[in-house]
Structure 1
Amino acid sequence: MKKLVLALVIMLLLFSISAIYGNRKLNSANSVISSGQVFQEPIVSKAILSAFFKKYPYLKDYESEVNALYKNRKYSWIWHDKEGLIEFANLLYSKANRLEEEGLEFNLPYKDEINSIFNGETSKKLSKTDTEILLSSMYVYYAEKVYKGIETEKITETGWFIPRKKLSYANLLDSLLVDSKLLNKNEDQLLGQYYKMREALKKYRRIEQNGGWNTIKMDPFIKDYKPNDSSKVIGQIRKRLTITGDLKKDSKSNWYDEELMAAVLNYKKRNGFRLNYRIESEHLEHLNVPVEERIKTIMVNMERCRWIDPELTKFDEFIVINIPSFKLIYRRNGIKELESRVFVGKIMTETVIFSGNISHIVFSPYWNVPRSIIENELKFAMERDKNYLASHNMEWNNGNVRQKPGPRNSLGLVKFMFPNSNSIYLHDTPVKSLFDTEVRLFSHGCINMDKAKELAILILKDYPDWPVDRIDAAMNGGVETTCYLKKKIPVYIGYFTAWVDDSGMINFYRDVYQRDNRLAELLFEEDFK
C-alpha cells in the first residue's frame, strides 16, 4: 500500500513538472523579441478596435489607418513592452503637444485622456487596451497633420495640381521606432525647405514675443528716402531691418549711410523688389506688415511643403518655377546652374500650379494661337484692322491662326515643351523690357523667361550634336527645328509666398493670386471641439 501511494505521488510530481515546463515553452513561443521590444500574442482584434472607436467617436476618421497599423503588426502591442510604455511613446506625446512648432493650430482629440496616460492621473485611469489604441490614434493624428497635411480634395480647391506624395503610416512608424531622431527631422518625408521654414517660424515667434515692430509712418511731403538723407524715419527703418536680420546691429543713426544701403538692398532682394537704394511708400507698407501676418504666411507655406514629394530634389536635373517670386531655378546634380526672371499669367488667365516633364525643345517655334485668344481677342482686332494678321506675322492654318517663326514671335526664339492639358509652355519672349517690372503678370498662362537661350545651352551641354553655334543658328534660322531630349526633365510650377534661401534668410513675396487667405482658412479651421 505504501509503495502504491509513493508511486502515485511520484507520478503527480512528474506530471506537475511537465506541465510547468510545457507552459514555459508555450509562453516563450508566444513572445517575439525584436529590437528590445516584446510583442506578445495578439491582444488587439478587429472587434476590440471597432468597440474602441465607438467609445471614442472623435477618432473615427483614423480608424482605418489604425486598423492597418495593427494588421501590419499581426495585432500585437505597439506601445508596450515588458517594462510598460516604450520610450518612443513619451517622445511622440511630447511632439504631439507642440504642434505649434510645426506651424499647426489643432486640438488633440481626447487630450485629457491621453494626458492621463503620462501624468499618472488616477481619475481617468484607462485600460491597457484603451491606452494602446489611444496612442496609435495619436500617432496617426500627428503623422497626418505634420507629414501629410490637408486632404487632396481641399488642396485642389486652392488651385494646386502637383501630384501629392504618398505616405505610408506603417512604414513611417517602422522608421521612427528604429530612429526616434527622425521625429525632429525626416527629409525622406518632408522637403528640406520645410525645416528651414520651421526655423524661420521660431525666429519670427521670438520677434513676436519681444513685441514685434512698430509701424513706420512716412512724411506725406516726402516722395522717397535716398542715400545721405537724414530723418527720424531713417532711424526707424534701421531699427526695423535690424530686427529681421538685414542689419547686424542698430547704430541708432538717422543718417542713410552705406551700412543701411547694403541692408536695404538685401531687404529688397529677398522680398522681390527692384534693386535700388530708394525707399518709397510701398516699401514702408511692406515693412509695416505685422509680425503676426508674417507668422501666418510662414505657416501657410509650411503646409504647401507638406504636399511635395522630397524625391523631386533627388533628380539629376529639374526646374522649379515659383509664381509669386517670378523666378525660375534650374538645378543640376544638386547645384543651382541658372536663375532667371519670368513673367506669368494675368489674374484672368492665371498660370496653373502643376508639374510636367520637358521632353523636347523647339527652336524658332510657330505660335499656334489658342482658340480662346482667337475668339476673345484676335477676332475683334481683325475686324478693326483687315491687315492685322499680316502685320503681326500671322497666318491661317487649317482653320486656326498661327504666328510664324521670327524675332517678333510671341514665344520668342525657343520654347521648352512639357505636354500638358493646360496648354502651358515655358518659352522665350520678344518683350524683354517686361522683366524690369516688379509684378510680372502679363501672359495668358504660359511662363515667359528672360534667359531662355542660356537654359537651352545648359540642358544641351552634354549633347555633342547641339553645340552653342548650332543652337544660335536654330534660334535665328526662321525655320522651326525640334530637339528631342534623351531624358525628360521634371518641371514644377509652384506657389510659395515665403521661401528660405540658401543663405538662411526668409523671403516674402506678394500673394499675386490671393491664395494665402483661402489656404489659411482650410489650415486653421478647428478640427475638434
Structure 2
Amino acid sequence: MKTIFPIAVILVTSFFISSFNNLDISDLNKKETLTPNYTSTKNDDVVDSEHLSDFFKRYTELKKYQNDVISLYKNRSYGTIWFENGKMTQYGQLLYTKLNNASYEGVGIPYKNEIDQIFDKTATEKPSKTDSDMLLSAAYIIYANHAFEGVDIETVKKSEWLLPKKKISRDTLAASAKTKPEAQKTRVVQFDQYYKLQDVLKKYKKIEQDNTWTPIKVETPYKDIRPDAKSVTVAQIRNRLFVMGDLQNDSKSDFYDQELMDGVMKYKLRNGLKPNYIISEANIKDMNESIQEKIKKITINMERCKEIYPTLLTDTEYIMINVPSYELVYVKNGKIELESKVFVGSPLTKTTIFNGNIEKVVFSPYWTVPQSIVDNELKSKIASDPNYLAEHNMEMVNGQVRQKPGPDNSLGLVKFIFPNPDDIYMHDTPAKTLFDFEQRTFSHGCINVSKAKELAIAMLKDYPEWTADRIDKAMDGQAETTFKLPTKVPIYITYFTTWVKESGEVSFFQDVYDKDADLNKILFPQETLVSN
C-alpha cells in the first residue's frame, strides 16, 4: 500500500464572501437593484417581532439561528436587509451566488429549494417578501458562521478532534451585516488537502447528478468473485470501477478479465485494502455504499481540514500518522523521507488524536507493563504459572512488572517518546505479521511501526555520532540506551477517513473509531433526524 500524506502549504486568499469586503448593509439605500420584484401597494420593508416569531414557527429547521437573525434585524431597526422597495438588492443577488456554491464547501443550507424559488422568475409560488428576506438572513448566518468558525468547539471536543480554535462572537458576526467588515478576519483554509477534497466533492456530486451510481446486485449466499468468473455482477462491478475512475473504459463485459483485474487492484490500493484480485463481500458492501454517503464522508473530512494544527503548515520536519489508513509519514526538509505501515489501538483502547513532540529515542527498551494490563491479563497467568515472568523475560521491580530488553520485548528494539496525558508512544514490535492485516487495531493505544529501525536511522541522520553501526549495536537487545533529541520532532496523530493523494486519487478508509458520526450529526442534522 502506498497512500501518501504530503503536506503542502499554500497561501490562499479567503474563499468566503470575498465580494462582501465592500458590503455595507447601510448602503442599501442605493437605487441599484436586481430581480426578483415583489410589487406591493404598502410599505412592507419592515420585519417586526411578530413576523420573526411566526417565521421561526414555520421554518423550524432555522430555529437555532433565531437569536442571530433577530440581531441582524435589530441592528437594521427591523428593516428588510436584502430588499429595497420590493426589489432584490445587488447584495441579495451576491449572497445567492455564494449559497449556490456552498455545497462545494461542505455547507448545508436548509430550505434551499425555497430560496431557489425566490430567484426563479418562472416560479408561480414564492415565499412572501418578508419570508424571503428572513430566509436569506438565516442563510447568511449559516454560511458566514461556517466559513468563519467551522464546526462548534463542543462538537470538536466530543469527536476527539482536539484542535480548538478561536471562536468569533456571534454579535460580531451579526454586526458585519451592518458595517463594513474590512477589519474582520475571514477564515482562511491553508491546508491544501481541503481544496483537493473540494475538487473530489464536485466530481462525486456530478456522479450523483448523472445518476450513474447504480446498486451492484449479488447472489446469496455470497461467493468470492475471482478472475475468470462470469456473471451479471461482474459487469456491474466493472461499471462501478469505471464510474469511480479505476477503469478508463466500461466494456460492459460480464467476464472477469485482465482489464478488470487491473481496475480491482487499483481500487484496492487506492483504499488501503489487501492487494489481491479477490472481490469479497466486504468489497461489494463498500462499493454499494451510496453516493450520498460518499459525499458526506468527503464533506466531513473537509471540515477536519479546517481544524488542522496550524504548526503543521509551517513545520519542515514532522511525523504524521493517520489512524484510519494505518500509515505513518516522516517528512524532513519539507520532503517525504519515509513511509511505514502502523497498527494502532483497538476500539476499546483507542489511539489518541493529538499533536506533540518526540523528545527521545530509546533503543533496546524496557517495557513497564501498565497496571491495567497487569490487573486484567497478567495476574491470573502469574497465579497459574509461577515461572510466567521468567519465561517471558519479565521481572518485578519496585512493585511493577517490566519486560527486559530483547527481540521478543513487546516494544521491539526501539521506541519514540513524546510526552502526552495518555502515556502512549511509538515503538517497534516483534509481531511483524500483524502489518499484513487490512484492519490493524491491535494495540492498547500505542502506535506500532513496521519500519521502526528505518525511522530511527532517518531521524538521526543529522547526528554524526549515530552511525549505522552504533544504531545496530544499540538495537542488539542487551541494554537500554536513550538518546535525547537536541531538536524535538513534531508528531501529529490525525484522523482522516477520506484523503486525496497528489495524483488526485481519493481514498476512503474505514471509520475505525466511529468518529465520523458526531460530525455527521452536525453537518447533516436534518438527515440524521430522518434516519432516526
CA distance in 1, matches of 2:22, 2:197: 36
CA distance in 2, matches of 1:462, 1:63: 57
TM-score, scaled to structure 2: 0.74
In the alignment, is residue 398 of structure 1 matched against residue 401 of structure 2? Answer: no
In the alignment, is residue 100 of structure 1 matched against residue 98 of structure 2? Answer: no
CA distance in 2, matches of 1:366, 1:54: 72
Aligned to 1:274: 274
CA distance in 1, matches of 2:357, 2:92: 42
Query: Secondary structure of the residue that 1:348 maps to in structure 2?
Result: coil
Tell me: CA distance 1:466–1:93, structure 2 relative to 1, closer, same or farther (3 Å).
Answer: farther
Aligned to 1:428: 428
Which moved further from structure 2: 458-467 or 211-220? 211-220
Map residues 22-33 of structure 1 onto 2, 5 A cutoff.
none
Tell me: CA distance 1:137–1:226, structure 2 relative to 1, closer, same or farther (3 Å).
Answer: closer
Report % sequence identity: 47
Alpha-carbon deviation of 1:443?
A: 0.6
CA distance in 1, matches of 2:227, 2:374: 50
Tell me: CA distance 1:123–1:292, structure 2 relative to 1, closer, same or farther (3 Å).
Answer: closer
Tell me: CA distance 1:39–1:124, structure 2 relative to 1, closer, same or farther (3 Å).
Answer: closer
Map residues 56-205 of structure 1 onto 2, 5 A cutoff.
91-107=94-110, 124=129, 141-160=142-161, 162-166=162-166, 188-205=188-205
Tell me: CA distance 1:157–1:125, structure 2 relative to 1, closer, same or farther (3 Å).
Answer: closer
Alpha-carbon deviation of 1:275?
A: 0.4
CA distance in 1, matches of 2:128, 2:236: 55
Tell me: CA distance 1:122–1:523, structure 2 relative to 1, closer, same or farther (3 Å).
Answer: closer
Alpha-carbon deviation of 1:305?
A: 1.9
CA distance in 2, matches of 1:488, 1:55: 60
Q: 2:148 touches 2:168 (CA, 8 Å); kept in 1?
A: no
Which moved further from structure 2: 233-242 or 141-150? 141-150
Map residues 261-410 of structure 1 onto 2, 5 A cutoff.
261-410=261-410
Of structures 1 and 2, the larger Rg is shown by: 1
Give the gaps of 5 or more residues in structure 2.
1-20, 28-46, 54-62, 76-81, 83-87, 120-125, 528-532
Give the gaps of 5 or more residues in structure 1.
1-34, 42-50, 70-78, 80-84
Aligned to 1:235: 235
Tell me: CA distance 1:55–1:122, structure 2 relative to 1, closer, same or farther (3 Å).
Answer: closer
Amino acid at match of 2:525: E
Aligned to 1:471: 471
CA distance in 1, matches of 2:211, 2:233: 19
Provide, for residues 236-273 of structure 1, a one-character-per-residue CA deviation record: whole Å limited to 9, x for no partner.
Answer: 21111000100011112223222222211110012221
Map residues 246-261 of structure 1 onto 2, 5 A cutoff.
246-261=246-261
Alpha-carbon deviation of 1:395?
A: 1.0
Tell me: CA distance 1:238–1:158, structure 2 relative to 1, closer, same or farther (3 Å).
Answer: same
Provide, for residues 180-219 of structure 1, a one-character-per-residue CA deviation record: whole Å limited to 9, x for no partner.
Answer: xx99xx8x42421111111111111111122242332334
Alpha-carbon deviation of 1:315?
A: 0.6
Q: 1:321 touches 1:329 (CA, 8 Å); kept in 2?
A: yes
Alpha-carbon deviation of 1:461?
A: 1.2
CA distance in 1, matches of 2:368, 2:300: 38
Alpha-carbon deviation of 1:291?
A: 1.3
Tell me: CA distance 1:335–1:123, structure 2 relative to 1, closer, same or farther (3 Å).
Answer: same
Alpha-carbon deviation of 1:441?
A: 1.1
Alpha-carbon deviation of 1:493?
A: 1.4
CA distance in 2, matches of 1:519, 1:349: 21
Tell me: CA distance 1:376–1:65, structure 2 relative to 1, closer, same or farther (3 Å).
Answer: farther
CA distance in 2, matches of 1:522, 1:93: 23
Alpha-carbon deviation of 1:280?
A: 2.0
Query: Secondary structure of the residue that 1:297 maps to in structure 2?
Result: helix
Which moved further from structure 2: 344-353 or 229-238? 229-238
Aligned to 1:24: none
In the alignment, is residue 504 of structure 1 matched against residue 507 of structure 2? Answer: no
Alpha-carbon deviation of 1:54?
A: 12
Alpha-carbon deviation of 1:147?
A: 4.5
Aligned to 2:458: 458
Alpha-carbon deviation of 1:89?
A: 7.8
Map residues 485-496 of structure 1 onto 2, 5 A cutoff.
485-496=485-496
Alpha-carbon deviation of 1:274?
A: 0.4
Amino acid at match of 1:398: N
CA distance in 1, matches of 2:391, 2:232: 56
CA distance in 2, matches of 1:466, 1:64: 66
Please provide the CA RMSD for this pair.
4.2
CA distance in 2, matches of 1:60, 1:223: 54
Amino acid at match of 1:445: G
Q: 1:147 touches 1:190 (CA, 8 Å); kept in 2?
A: no
More helix by share: 1
Alpha-carbon deviation of 1:445?
A: 0.7
Q: 2:52 touches 2:70 (CA, 8 Å); kept in 1?
A: no
Which moved further from structure 2: 294-303 or 396-405? 294-303
Q: 1:104 touches 1:524 (CA, 8 Å); kept in 2?
A: no
CA distance in 2, matches of 1:451, 1:145: 40
Query: Secondary structure of the residue that 1:476 maps to in structure 2?
Result: coil
Q: 1:53 touches 1:63 (CA, 8 Å); kept in 2?
A: no
CA distance in 1, matches of 2:168, 2:436: 46
CA distance in 2, matches of 1:89, 1:330: 48
Alpha-carbon deviation of 1:431?
A: 0.3
Provide, for residues 442-484 of structure 1, a one-character-per-residue CA deviation record: whole Å limited to 9, x for no partner.
Answer: 1101110101111111111111111222122111242111112
Q: 1:106 touches 1:524 (CA, 8 Å); kept in 2?
A: no
Q: How many pairs align?
A: 459
CA distance in 2, matches of 1:445, 1:238: 39
Provide, for residues 289-339 of structure 1, a one-character-per-residue CA deviation record: whole Å limited to 9, x for no partner.
Answer: 121221222222222222224541321112221111111122223322222
